[in-house]
Structure 1
C-alpha cells in the first residue's frame, strides 16, 4: 500500500470519467488510443486500462518514493525469464523509446512506469472457485515454483528476502508499538531456525491470490510479480489463501490446491506445517506498511473516498495490532 498522500495527489488528477491527464502524459511514451485510458485502481501501484490500436493493455506506475528503479528492473527480468520458459505470465511492452521502464518527470514528481499485455480469461472470486479450479490454481503455482527453482542466481539481485522485509518493517514501526517490536524479535528467531534448501526456498510470487491470477478454461495467467521475494515456497501457498482467513491444511479446497501443486514440484510439508509463523510474519510486515501508508491527518479536509479509505485502513491496523498484542499475553 502506497502512502495515502501520494495516492491523493494522483487521484486529484482523475476526473468523473476516470481519466487523468497525468496517466495520459505517461502513456505518451507508449502511444495510446485517445480517450481510452481510465484508472482501474490505486493501492500498491496506480493501474490504468487503455487501448492502443484497439488492443487492450495495462499501465502500472509508481511514485519514485514508493519503489526504486532497480527493484522494478529485477522484477521484469524474472517476468521475462518465466515468459521465455513458456509460462503464461503477463509480459512488459516496450515503449516507443525501446524501454521496459520509463522514468517520467512531472509537476507532481518522478514516476516509474511499465506497460503490460492483457491476458485472456477472467478473474474469479473465492465463492466462484470449483474444486477443479482450485486444483488448477495449485498446479499453476507448483509449475511456477518448479521454474523458479531453476532461476539463475543473478535474478535474485535487487529482490528482497523475507529478512529484508522484516527489517524494513522494524524500521517503519513506531517505537510505541511495543508488542510489534517484541513480535519482530520472536519472528526473527523462528525464521532463522527453519531449514533452507533449493527445494524449499527461493524466489516466490508472494501475492498469488485470486486477483493476480486469470482463469482461461484449464490454464491460468499470472500477474503482478512486483512483490516477488526470497522466501520459503510454502509461504506462497499460505499467502495465496489469505482471503479465506486463517490457513488450514484440512480445508478441502486447500487440500485440493496442494494436490494440484504437488503434481508439478515437491513440497516440504514440514515447512508448510509452520504456516502460522508465515501468517504472523505477513501480519507484522503488513502492519508496518499500513502504518506508513496512513500518513494523512484525520482532521484535514479530504475527499470522501479518502476519508473512508483512511478509516478502513485504520481499522485493519487496529485489528493487526490487537492480534499481535494477544501473542504477548
Structure 2
C-alpha cells in the first residue's frame, strides 16, 4: 500500500466530481479526454476509472504511482508480463499510450508519476461469501494455468531483483527483511521470531517447484464469467515457490482468525486446492510447506506495512484517514501475532 500521507495528498487533489488534474495529466498520454477519469481508490497505486460512455474503448482504469516511491520497472515489468501472456492466458492486457508505450512517466501537479492504463476485465467480482465450490475449483485451476503460462517469462520477472530495480516488498525471503525492520524498531520478540522462521523457510523451500508468481491472485483481482476467470494487476509478481502463491491467493478462505491448517472456509479451500491440482499436481513437499507459506504471507504484510502508517494520527486528519490507519494497525497486530505464535512451543 502507498503511504497514508500519499493517499491523503491524492484525496486532496480530487474535486467534488471525483476528478483530479493529476489524473487528467495521465489521461492525456492515452488520448482520454480531460475530466473523464474519476477517482476510484488508492492502495498499492492510485486508481481512476473512465466510466461507460466516456471513451470509445470502453471502461478504462488509470493506475499510477509517484516516481519518488516506485521505480518505473515496478509497473513496466508487470505490464510487459501481461502483454506477453495475452488475453488467451486469461489476463487483461494493458493499453499502449499514444506513443505506443505500455508505461509512461508523466509530469503532473503532484510530481512525476509512472502510469499504466488497462481495460475493464469482463465478468463479475465475487467475494468469499458468494463463492461456490465449483467457482473455487475454477479459481484454483486458473492460478495453476497462470503458473504454467508465465513460466517462460521468468527472466523478465527476475529482472526486478536487479539493484536498480530493488523491490524489498516483493520476492525473496520476507522473514529476513522483517527481521531487520523489527530490530530497527526495537521489537526484539518479532525480530527473533523472524530470524527463526527465515532459517526454517530456507530449509523448507530448497528445491521446491517454483517460477513466476502472480503475487496477489485474490478474488478482488479476478473476474468470473461463465466459468472463465480473468486476472489483472500483477504488480506483486516475483520469483518464488508456487506454494507461496497459493498461500497468497487463499487468504480470504483462511480468514483473519484462521490458519491454513484450520481455515474459516475449509470446503472452499479444499475445492481451490483440488482445482489447482487438476492442472498442476502438488507434491507432498509443497503441501507440507503451505502452512509456513501462509506465515510468510503475514511477514510480507508487515514488510509492506513498514513506513505506511505515516498519517492518520492527528486530530486534524479526516475521519476516513484515521479509520484506515486504525484498520491497518490492527492488521499489523494480527500479522505480528501469527509470527510469534508460529515459533512458540506447542
TM-score, normalised via structure 1 length: 0.91
Q: Pick one of 300, 307, 311 that aligns with 1:285.
A: 300
Contact 1:102/1:113 (<8 A) preserved: yes
**Which residue number in structure 1 is paired with residue 321 of structure 2?**
306
SS in 2 for 1:184: helix
Q: Please give the alpha-carbon distance, in whole angstroms, between the structure 2 residues aligned to 1:10 and 1:181.
A: 34
Is 1:182 the counterpart of 2:170 in the alignment?
no
SS in 1 for 2:107: strand
Is 1:39 the counterpart of 2:39 in the alignment?
yes
Long gaps (5+) in structure 2: 162-166
The verdict on how the C-alpha distance between 1:144 and 1:165 changes in structure 2, with shifts beyond 3 A counting, is: same
Q: Please give the alpha-carbon distance, in whole angstroms, between the structure 2 residues aligned to 1:217 and 1:238.
A: 26
Q: Please give the alpha-carbon distance, in whole angstroms, between the structure 2 residues aligned to 1:216 and 1:241.
A: 20
Q: Please give the alpha-carbon distance, in whole angstroms, between the structure 1 residues aligned to 2:44 and 2:105.
A: 18
**Which residue number in structure 2 is paired with residue 124 of structure 1?**
126
Q: Please give the alpha-carbon distance, in whole angstroms, between the structure 2 residues aligned to 1:62 and 1:168.
A: 23
**Which residue number in structure 2 is paired with residue 247 of structure 1?**
260
The verdict on how the C-alpha distance between 1:167 and 1:66 changes in structure 2, with shifts beyond 3 A counting, is: farther
SS in 1 for 2:152: coil
Query: How many residues of Structure 1 are paired with residues of Structure 2 in the alignment?
Result: 327
Q: Please give the alpha-carbon distance, in whole angstroms, between the structure 2 residues aligned to 1:103 and 1:165.
A: 29
The verdict on how the C-alpha distance between 1:323 and 1:134 changes in structure 2, with shifts beyond 3 A counting, is: closer
TM-score, normalised via structure 2 length: 0.87
The verdict on how the C-alpha distance between 1:2 and 1:172 changes in structure 2, with shifts beyond 3 A counting, is: farther
Q: How large is the Cα RMSD of the aligned pairs?
A: 2.2
The verdict on how the C-alpha distance between 1:113 and 1:169 changes in structure 2, with shifts beyond 3 A counting, is: farther
**Which residue number in structure 2 is paired with residue 274 of structure 1?**
289
Is 1:69 the counterpart of 2:72 in the alignment?
yes
SS in 2 for 1:103: strand
**Which residue number in structure 1 is paired with residue 164 of structure 2?**
none
**Which residue number in structure 2 is paired with residue 204 of structure 1?**
213
**Which residue number in structure 2 is paired with residue 110 of structure 1?**
112
SS in 2 for 1:18: coil
Deviations 1:263-304 (A, max 9, x none): 222323322222221122121221232231001261352122
